[in-house]
Amino acid sequence: MTKTVAIIGGGVIGGGWLARFLLNGWNINLFDPDPEAERKVNEVLVNARHALPMLYDVALPAEGALNIFDTLQKAVQNADWIQESVPERLDIKHKVMAEIQTHCRADAIIGSSTSGFKPSELQEKSDNKGQIFVTHPFNPVYLLPLIELVPSPENAPADIERAKDLLTSVGVRMESLVRGLLLNLNTTADDVYRMHSQMEGVKLLGHNHLKSHMRRHTQHPIQAVVPE
């Protein structure tokens, strides 16, 4: 059955997550209070529809459906996975996490894109801490096949495995390579080329093509997350 992800915050990173999930066949529920959010995610989608299929030898699945909601409650209530990508302020993250947990399914997984907060910091005001993970991506999220999945001792081993399986199903992997990558404060086209060249079943974009794509679409440096 088609799975549903709620994208909470559709800026640079939320838009990239949205594209990765949508192009891998998931249904999307987007909530972002910015009236420009729909236009912004559609611009990311244009780039992703161009770039992502070129990486694979096989056709991607049919796209899922993109639903845009005017409340967070409606966006999260039937979601299997919730990806939070709101601004990097702990007070905002806590407020949004509390609202997500009030309305989401008890078995949903919540990933935060945070670049700098530990999972325990995100979990500290929650009554259901084990539902919350750090799932730190790299920009552009639809192109870079790597996520840093950071659990805390509150996350059950079975839920960590479930989170890994769901992320793997949208074409990303979580390997020790990430630790090395985080030591670099900038992702370059060379990093992306190296990552893709180590993945099975993934076709390499021409190096020059990739470089020009990265020049156009990567504006933000990566910051390191310290796992628990």
Ligand X SMILES: NC(=O)c1ccc[n+]([C@@H]2O[C@H](COP(=O)([O-])OP(=O)(O)OC[C@H]3O[C@@H](n4cnc5c(N)ncnc54)[C@H](O)[C@@H]3O)[C@@H](O)[C@H]2O)c1
**Binding interface with ligand X (CB under 6 A):** 8-14, 31-34, 37, 85-88, 96, 113-115, 136-137, 139, 220
- In the bound state with ligand X, the residue whose beta carbon lies nearer, of 141 and 210, is 141
Q: How many residues can be counted in the chain?
A: 228
- In the bound state with ligand X, the residue whose beta carbon lies nearer, of 63 and 88, is 88
Structure tokens at 128: 């259901």
Residue nearest to ligand X (CB): 11
36 CB-contact burial (10 Å; exposed 0-12 / middle 13-18 / buried 19+):
exposed
- In the bound state with ligand X, the residue whose beta carbon lies nearer, of 61 and 180, is 180
Question: What distance in Å separates the CA atoms of residue 171 and residue 226, rounded to the nearest whole number?
Answer: 24
- In the bound state with ligand X, the residue whose beta carbon lies nearer, of 27 and 85, is 85
Contact 168, 160 (CB under 8 A): no
Closest distance between ligand X and the C-beta of residue 173, in Å?
17
Q: From residue 99, how far is each of 14, 35, 133, 195 by CA, in Å?
A: 18, 20, 16, 36
Closest distance between ligand X and the C-beta of residue 154, in Å?
20
Closest distance between ligand X and the C-beta of residue 9, in Å?
3
Closest distance between ligand X and the C-beta of residue 210, in Å?
18
Structure tokens at 17: 């997550």
